[in-house]
Amino acid sequence: MDKDTAPTQKNRVLQTMRTEIIEWVNFLAVFLVGFFLFTTVLYALFYIPSGSMRPNLEVGDRFVTSKWAYGWSRYSLPWGLARILPSSDKRLFGRLPRRGDVAVFVNPHNNLVMIKRVVGLPGDVIETRGGHLYINDRMVSRTFLRLARYRDHHGQIHTAQVYTEKFPGTQRPHTIYEFSDHYTLAGWSPDDSGPFTIEDGHVFMMGDNRDNSNDSRAPDGPGQIPLENLVGRARTVLFTIARCRHEIGLDCPKPRLWRAL
């Protein structure tokens, strides 16, 4: 090989490598900025880690949340960036959720991301008596469907009463689980709790698996949720990865794909 051509070829290889590295860096930068804006402003993907929203959301469901549904706050930012920003109750283009919405929010006590159903709005009085939900001293109507037996993600078997429940002012009912109408936990009962008067700028959240949900009723739950802590409204279950075993006498949900909430 000619002594003069060897350095030239080496320089060309190095130049090509530099060009490719720069192109990849530019691509990743554009991708990350685009992803950041998309998941901050429009939509984000979450998954269900527990059974507190059964039977409407199962463990392992991957669902899409619309970030713009209630406006934007610091909690709209992805990757937990809200923790490093100063506290603020401001919300850009803020809108009040509708009763019955399934909403994602950040627990104000421990910064965990949670999902529950919006039950109480500012000024409402929420109470449970004998397993029945009362909103502003009016009992919410429910209709018994059947009994369901299922194995939870901890391996325990539960028997639940399945009801449809319809909130006042909503167009369609939703389904809930109740273990009993007089279920008790350590030091309190989810079936006899309250009354809770919802503060201005807050909402009251409850899980659809009423006796197995650490929600706004629970002494160690998230309490009333400030509107700034809302992340968005759950819209659609894209798919689920977790699958239960088919066991005689136990419910095993079918695979879920692109199901509206």
Cβ atoms within 10 Å of 151's Cβ, excluding its own: 16
The verdict on 116 and 193 lying in the same domain is yes
The verdict on 134 and 16 lying in the same domain is no
The verdict on 19 and 144 lying in the same domain is no
**Cα 31 versus chain centre, distance:** 25
The verdict on 11 and 86 lying in the same domain is no
The verdict on 94 and 150 lying in the same domain is yes
Among 111-120, 175-184, 245-254, whose mean pLDDT is lowest? 245-254
Phi-psi region of 136 (alpha: psi -120 to 50; beta: other; left: phi over 0): left
The verdict on 23 and 117 lying in the same domain is no
Does residue 2 carry a pLDDT above 70?
A: no
Q: In sequence order, what are the beta bridge partners of 115?
A: 104
The verdict on 67 and 164 lying in the same domain is yes
What pLDDT was estimated at residue 7? 66
The verdict on 122 and 195 lying in the same domain is yes
Is 52 known to be catalytic? yes
State the residue range of the domain holding 177: 42-260
Q: Average of pLDDT values for 11-17?
A: 77
Does residue 4 carry a pLDDT above 70?
A: no
Q: State the average pLDDT for the chain.
A: 88
Is 116 known to be catalytic? yes
The verdict on 17 and 95 lying in the same domain is no
Question: 119 falls in which pLDDT band (50, 70, 90)?
Answer: very high
Half-sphere exposure of 115 (CA within 13 A, CB side): 28
What pLDDT was estimated at residue 27? 73
Q: What is the number of structural domains in the chain?
A: 2
What pLDDT was estimated at residue 5? 58
Name the catalytic one among 67, 76, 116, 193.
116
Q: Average of pLDDT values for 64-86?
A: 84
Does residue 84 carry a pLDDT above 90?
A: no
Name the catalytic one among 52, 76, 213, 216.
52
Q: Average of pLDDT values for 47-72?
A: 92
Nearest to 85 by CA among 106, 62, 101, 103: 106
The verdict on 96 and 152 lying in the same domain is yes
Which has the higher per-residue pLDDT, 215 or 20?
Answer: 215
What pLDDT was estimated at residue 261? 82
Does residue 182 carry a pLDDT above 90?
A: yes
The verdict on 15 and 106 lying in the same domain is no
- Domain of 174: which CATH number? 2.10.109.10
Q: Are the CB atoms for 71 and 92 separated by under 8 Å?
A: yes
Q: Are the CB atoms for 46 and 65 separated by under 8 Å?
A: yes
Question: 242 falls in which pLDDT band (50, 70, 90)?
Answer: low
Q: Average of pLDDT values for 82-106?
A: 86
Q: pTM for this one?
A: 0.85
Does residue 138 carry a pLDDT above 80?
A: yes
The verdict on 174 and 217 lying in the same domain is yes
